[in-house]
Amino acid sequence: MKRYLIIGCCFFSLQLNAQTQKVTFLKSDQQQKVDVLIDGQSFTSFLYPDDLEKPILYPLKTASGITLTRGFPLNKVGNERTDHPHHVGLWFNYESVNGLDFWNNSYKIPAAKKANYGWIRNVKVTTIKDGSKSGILAYTANWEKQDKTVLLKEQTSFVFSGTEHTRTIDRSTTLTAEKDTVYFKDIKDGMLGIRVTNELELPSEKEVSYTDNNGIVTKVLSAKNGANGNYLTSAGKQGNDAWGTRANWCLLYGKKDGQSISIAIIDHPKNPGYPTYWHARDYGLFAANPLGQAIFSNGKEHMNFTLKPGESVTFKYRIVISSGKEVSSELLNKNAKDFKMSK
């Protein structure tokens, strides 16, 4: 059954009752990765090597095999931007946790400044379960200082599923404070982020410099690389107007290799700060930040989130990737409703 909906100048189609596909995993302890296959085809890999500052999903591919994530810094791809080397794949962290910057940490940080940054380390894969309709991968990790003092214990599970035209990830992450009270400063960069392929960037002719909270400046050049992306939120915001606004989902869509492709992030009503603010940049950073509110509200709202020793908080997100058929707001609203009812 198909239904159709027109939003602005864009035509969206909806496919209902699609058949789910089998999910399988291939684990390599030596390479510190787990490959995720849907219907026997590569979807993504869970990467947790010792030389990476956080665990990630990389790359992310559509059901038709088109790569949605930027290759840099792990792989070089022609005409891609090489800014923000900490933007790699799909990740989850935050810019200021007890003053340590987990978000901006990368190999580019000078050794003299590394003490100002945090790591998510000591990853242990705890569950791998194939399934005919979905597959589960879970892990534990530590949010650590440079001296390996643990600030937070992380428990994360991914539920992967797919159909002929879609790939879906349900991510649930629980953070538990260890011996110290943990403060999440109200700040811009966080929490669930993805850096997308150049085609999903928004067309732009501007050059912008960004400075992180440790004074590191990055220049982002104007896009002349086939960028044709656009944002749409559940609140109806489009393009650059999506940045710094609240909505329970945000969709980034465009075309690559002649195909319609998209990625949507859906917030969960039980998350702190729901509905989240969207840190959705035109140069390819697509992030949900529920804890940074001051900058997005022009100082009207504040949320300095705190966990006392032993306290926990859980963040849940659904990521929906589509190809070949454009996604409707109706389908995303249905996904959001289903996600709300999930355990």
pLDDT of amino acid 108: 94
Global model pTM greater than 0.95: no
pLDDT at residue 17 in the model: 58
What pLDDT is stored for residue 11 in this prediction? 31
pLDDT of residue 221: 76
pLDDT of residue 91: 98
Please list the rounded mean pLDDT of every run of 10 residues in the chain (343 residues).
34 55 98 98 98 97 98 91 96 98 96 96 97 98 96 98 97 97 97 97 83 79 85 98 98 96 98 98 97 96 96 98 92 94 80
Class of the CATH domain delimited by 2-341: mainly beta
HEC assignment per residue over the chain: CEEEEEECCEEEEEECCCCCCCEEEEEECCCCEEEEEECCEEEEEEECCCCCCCCEECCCECCCCCECECCCCCCCCCCCCCCCCCCCCEEEEECCECCEECCCCCCCCCHHHHHHECEEEEEEEEEEECECCCEEEEEEEEEECCCCCEEEEEEEEEEEEECCCEEEEEEEEEEEECCCCEEECCCCCEEEEEEECHHHCCCECCCEEEECCCCCEEEECCECCCCCCEEEECCCCEHHHHCCCECCEEEEEEEECCEEEEEEEEECCCCCCCCCEEEECCCCEEEEECCCCCCCCCCCCCCCEEECCCCEEEEEEEEEEEECCCCCHHHHHHHHHHHHHCC
> Which sequence spans correspond to the domains of the chain?
2-341
pLDDT at 87 (0 to 100): 98
Both structure tokens of 210 = 């960004």
How much is the pLDDT for 269? 97
| Residues 81, 284 contacting (CB under 8 angstroms) | yes
Given this model, what pLDDT does residue 8 score? Answer: 35
